[in-house]
Amino acid sequence: MIKIKTPEEIEIMAEGGRLLAVIFEELKKEVKVGASTQSLNDLAASLIAKAGGKPSFLGEGGYPAVICVSINDEVVHGVPSAQRIIKDGDIVSLDAGMVYKGFHSDMAATVIAGEGDPNLHRMIKVVKKSLKYGIKKSRPGNTFGDVGNTIERYVESQGFHVVRDLCGHGIGKKLHEDPQILNYGKRHKGQKILEGMTFCIEPMITAGDPAIVLADDKQTYKIKDGSPAAHWEHTLAIVNGVCRILTALGGKNEEE
């Protein structure tokens, strides 16, 4: 069942989302050559506590950490480790969630450590822009099929592929609520977008075959053929007929 939020609940989620966006900026700055993924996790734990929140991911489905740090061919749910050291040119996807005043927010971004391959920089621009197009399509009268179709058509037009076996989701008092939001679909099909909905759109793309496998840690999803992946996500709400980004810096309703 899809849970429609009141304006007051959406404002609480927006407050938490703004705090998470600030935390995220600090995390991105620390994606450096030689840093361990555990150091990013520890920083996130400290910043979330300081903001008055609690980590959404810790314990969710047995997940053992505060944030996800996925490197190169890892799509999502990479588990931080003191032994996992970021190398020059690595493409690093950060994914973090926070519970604030009883409501979750969730966001993800992909950055490159060091200079990096120009093709990886381009892939990041494409995944970020695909989310922007998905957000623009998210309004009452459209469906999530319209959103997914828009994302996939843009990604494919740029020579990349969406990962079909992972998706976005509703969000609120639970981290994962209905509906599931695919990054592909057919126009005018699927769940209609309604006023008061809160949800996460999170395109995940790769330059190779989008088939994924579960790693030996039983948490991390990787691209099966070893191609690099990129991921971007925002928590969103439908307010007064438009899609509002709740995890935007300074409350700006634009892609950061």
> Would you tell me how many other CB atoms lie within 10 Å of the CB of residue 45?
16
Spatial CB neighbours of 222, under 8 Å, sequence gap ≥ 6: 73, 74, 75, 212, 213, 214, 215
Q: Is the pLDDT of residue 25 over 80?
A: yes
Place of tokens 């966006």: 21
Residue 58 lies in a domain: yes
Look at residue 253 in the predicted model and tell me its pLDDT.
65
Look at residue 251 in the predicted model and tell me its pLDDT.
61
pLDDT tens digits for range 220-245? 999 999 999 999 999 999 999 999 99
pLDDT tens digits for range 143-166? 999 999 999 999 999 999 999 999
Residue 111 lies in a domain: yes
Instruction: Count Cβ neighbours within 10 Å for each residue of 179-207 and write b for 16 or more, e otherwise.
Output: bebbbbbeeeebbebeebbbbbbbbbbbb
Residue 134 lies in a domain: yes
Cα(160)–Cα(206) distance, rounded to whole angstroms? 6
Look at residue 58 in the predicted model and tell me its pLDDT.
98
Q: What is the CATH number of the domain that holds 44?
A: 3.90.230.10
Residue 205 lies in a domain: yes
Task: Count how many domains the chain has.
Answer: 1
Place of tokens 């990349």: 160
Give the orientation angle of helix 118-137 with respect to helix 144-157, to 10 degrees.
Answer: 160
Residue 77 lies in a domain: yes
pLDDT tens digits for range 88-130? 999 999 999 999 999 999 999 999 999 999 999 999 999 999 9
Residue 210 lies in a domain: yes
Q: Is the pLDDT of residue 27 over 50?
A: yes
Look at residue 60 in the predicted model and tell me its pLDDT.
96
Cα(151)–Cα(111) distance, rounded to whole angstroms? 20
The H or E element containing residue 212 is strand 212-214
- What average pLDDT is seen over the chain? 96
Residue 256 lies in a domain: no
pLDDT tens digits for range 131-148? 999 999 999 999 999 999
What's the domain range around 220? Answer: 7-251
252 band by pLDDT with thresholds 50, 70 and 90:
low
Residue 140 lies in a domain: yes
The beta strands (E) that lie in 88-129 are given as 91-100, 103-112
Q: Is the pLDDT of residue 254 over 80?
A: no
Look at residue 250 in the predicted model and tell me its pLDDT.
74
Look at residue 256 in the predicted model and tell me its pLDDT.
43
C-alpha angle with apex 156: 236 to 144, nearest 5 degrees? Answer: 35
